[in-house]
A and B are shown apart, each in its own frame.
Chain A
Amino acid sequence: MPHLSQWIIRTAFIYLLLGFTFGALLLTHKGIPLHPALWGWLPAHIEFLLIGWIVQLTMGVAFWILPRYWKHPRRPNEIYAQIAFVLLNLGIWLVVAETTFRAGSWVLLAGRVVEVGAVVFFGLHAWKRIVSREGA
């Protein structure tokens, strides 16, 4: 497993733990009221698990396991995948900054745009690796 995949997958695991922690607090609060402000963390719970965990893990595994080139570099344009990793995590925290901390609607918009940017950069990296064994 390449270093970049290790970084992406470990980050995904951290989001899994964050998402499950907030989810556990919210579920407990539903049964035994803890603090009304907890509901404010619901969007962060969803963002951490859908984007931080599922999307990020998928990207990390795809970078690792998609067909590699015969010649070096085996995974070309790695820089695009690195940029995608940074943008995705920046986007997550911009979204959480608005949905949980009310940082302003433009922050939410910026976060969503940055997340789209992450997917574009990941696509730029991965597109040419989505091939058959013969490279067609």
Chain B
Amino acid sequence: MPPLTRWYIKSALAYLMAALLLAVVLALPSDLPTFIRFMNPAYFHLFLVGWVTQMIFGVIYWMFPIITRARPRGNERVGWISYILLNVGLLLRLIGEPLVSTRPETGAGWLLAISALLQWLAAVLFVILAWPRVKEKYRGE
């Protein structure tokens, strides 16, 4: 398993744990701090982007047919950039979304715009990386 896949899958597991812990907190019967109450969308995205999509990215990078023996998985640097953008983007959302809802005067709206851009770029880069590997098995020719 390549190092990038190990990072993807371990990060995915960490997000799964974070998403489920956040779900526990959101389900508490007591009055939650306002900041936490606005984290419901963050819970869904921790789960679906942080866990599901990131796990899929890691497994695709590992298991899809190689391009050539010399360069089996394409440009690895693109993969690392995509991984970093996805995770930084997701973490910015985690902070920015409740901040925008509870303290709009802080100008945190830009955090969400940056988060959106980073996550979108991560998806674009990953598709660019993985697209050539959607192919028949490499037979050495």
Contacts and interface: CB of A to CB of B under 8 A. Distances in A.
Interface stretch (B10-18, B28-36, B73-81, B126-134): B126-134
- Interface bin, chain B: 20 to 34
Interface in B100-120: 100, 108-113, 115-117, 119-120
A109 to B, nearest CB: 25
Contacts of A16: 53, 123, 127
A126 interface: no
- Interface bin, chain A: 20 to 34
A95 interface: no
Contacts of A13: 127, 130-131, 134
Nearest to A16: B123
Given A6-B134, A21-B120, A27-B93, A32 B112 contact: yes
Contacts of B135: 1, 6
Interface of B: 48, 52-53, 56, 64-65, 93, 96-97, 100, 108-113, 115-117, 119-120, 123-124, 127, 130-131, 134-137
19 contacts: A1-B137, A10-B134, A13-B127, A13-B130, A13-B131, A13-B134, A17-B123, A17-B127, A20-B120, A24-B116, A24-B119, A25-B116, A28-B112, A30-B112, A31-B96, A32-B110, A49-B48, A54-B48, A54-B52
